[in-house]
A and B are shown apart, each in its own frame.
Chain A
């Protein structure tokens, strides 16, 4: 019978009408992001040893940092700029950080009105208040973060 296949297909559609809705009501309900989410960045300047490994790991040279010597003749960070317009969000910088002080955050609404805001000055604004991602973080920190979530 012609049209039998169409009716068979419609029965599937019909069943799906009563399915639980899967769409998120986005602006009202924020999505549940993965623990390893690669969104924004945060930098703990006090922990940073200014080794510039993150700068070298970056494929697109999005990170520019300068260093200076302090009173004890130790190298310390003088400025840290991460230009997100060149950033691939590949995470190689975060993986390279020996002190694990450069971290991803779980932010996702990162659109800005002005292009100057795309450049992150992580030296002045460390962005430590944002929820940190566990991407490439050592196991212990991972566990602690899990406990906090629970």
Chain B
């Protein structure tokens, strides 16, 4: 009997592509024999828009890159500008920044893990992490007045000091969160269906991961111990005691394990930062009109999704000449075309979900 392969469009409107990613699959029966990933359906031209904005006006746009963790995007931009202008920011602002960045890392991983397991067919496993995320978003609303696009950091510190409603909620979160972690491990870790769907699926070797420029939990799951917070500490991260969890073989299960461990490490950092939180101002003395010297600066931070880099070129005017972001999700999904081949469609869904990418960041 004569057989032939056929083409299947996965996306751009498909719930498992987490936004508007389009994957054109060449299938032989159920098995993938060729794949091409298309991006650009969410392109808003942010980098071009930023060329016509003043330096402080850039910050609200950074929220819209990785919209699951806006604070971390704020952080990389303001730290780049502080590096460029040699601004020292107050201690209190540094501690609050670390606390918020780690809180948002937890919030982002809660989506990453929850949606991942929902794509594999579980339902209750998505609601428990979202309850925790909800608490973090409520805390953020007390600080910044918004739940998603925070615009909370400023060049030289923070927009405002923390609100008095924030502390009781954080206290409550610190008490309740370990219980959630324990429950979630019970719910997922030994689940036979989850293991069958994820073990030895989408395995990536360390060499291949490095050659494709993977970063973040996806790289660490392959056994590469690379975390900017440890290898090249920014802000005050060298003051905290935390581990960098790594996986073993880089399959979908390892990516889940690494994210769960990372959440625990982030929780450790939050507790340390909260304990040592000093008093004082949250904003350094910064000129009203921000006009950095001519030059360019590159700075990178560890985002929930991977290494987020920011490159700013200044021509001495109040508007940047060029702002570029190295978005981790964009580099991470570049490996898809290679690892999909040989997998069944259901496994491809598992791989897509395990990568935890955000299309706002891929397309910018």
Given contacts A34-B141, A36-B145, A136-B159, contact A12 B187 (CB under 8 A): yes
Q: Could you list 22 A-B pairs, sorted by A, with CB under 8 Å?
A: A5-B190, A9-B186, A12-B183, A16-B128, A22-B131, A33-B141, A34-B165, A35-B142, A35-B163, A36-B144, A38-B145, A38-B146, A59-B53, A59-B57, A59-B60, A59-B61, A88-B149, A90-B59, A90-B151, A92-B56, A133-B145, A135-B145
- A92 engages B60 (CB within 8 Å): yes
**Which residues of A lie under 8 Å from residue B61 when comparing CB positions?**
59, 88
The 9 A-B pairs of least Cβ separation, nearest first, read A5-B190, A90-B60, A36-B145, A59-B57, A38-B145, A34-B141, A9-B187, A90-B151, A12-B187
List residues 54-113 of chain A with CB under 8 A from any CB of chain B: 57, 59, 88-92, 95, 104
**Which residues of A lie under 8 Å from residue B111 when comparing CB positions?**
none
Q: Is B171 an interface residue (CB 8 A)?
A: no
Q: Is B206 an interface residue (CB 8 A)?
A: no
- Smallest distance from the beta carbon of B67 to chain A beta carbons, Å? 13
Q: Indicate the size class of the contact surface on chain A.
A: 20 to 34
List residues 27-45 of chain A with CB under 8 A from any CB of chain B: 33-38
Q: Is A141 an interface residue (CB 8 A)?
A: no
Per a CB cutoff under 8 Å, which of B124, B134, B145, B164 touches A13?
A: B124
Contact surface of A with B, Cβ cutoff 8 Å: 2-6, 8-9, 11-13, 15-16, 22, 33-38, 57, 59, 88-92, 95, 104, 133, 135-136, 146
State the CA gap A89–B186 with chains docked (Å): 41
Per a CB cutoff under 8 Å, which of B60, B128, B190 touches A88?
A: B60
Nearest A-chain residue to B53, judged by Cβ: A59
Given contacts A37-B145, A90-B151, contact A11 B186 (CB under 8 A): yes
Nearest A-chain residue to B184, judged by Cβ: A12
| Binding-face segment, B96-104, B191-199, B231-239, B241-249 | B191-199
- A13 engages B149 (CB within 8 Å): no
State the CA gap A2–B191 with chains docked (Å): 10
- A5 engages B145 (CB within 8 Å): no
State the CA gap A15–B128 with chains docked (Å): 12
- B149 engages A89 (CB within 8 Å): yes
20 new A-B contacts, CB < 8 A, other than A36-B143, A91-B159, are A4-B190, A5-B189, A12-B183, A12-B186, A13-B124, A15-B183, A34-B138, A34-B141, A34-B142, A34-B165, A35-B142, A37-B141, A37-B145, A88-B60, A88-B149, A89-B146, A90-B59, A90-B60, A92-B56, A92-B57
Nearest A-chain residue to B54, judged by Cβ: A59
**Which residues of A lie under 8 Å from residue B59 when comparing CB positions?**
90
Per a CB cutoff under 8 Å, which of B124, B159, B163, B188 touches A16?
A: B124
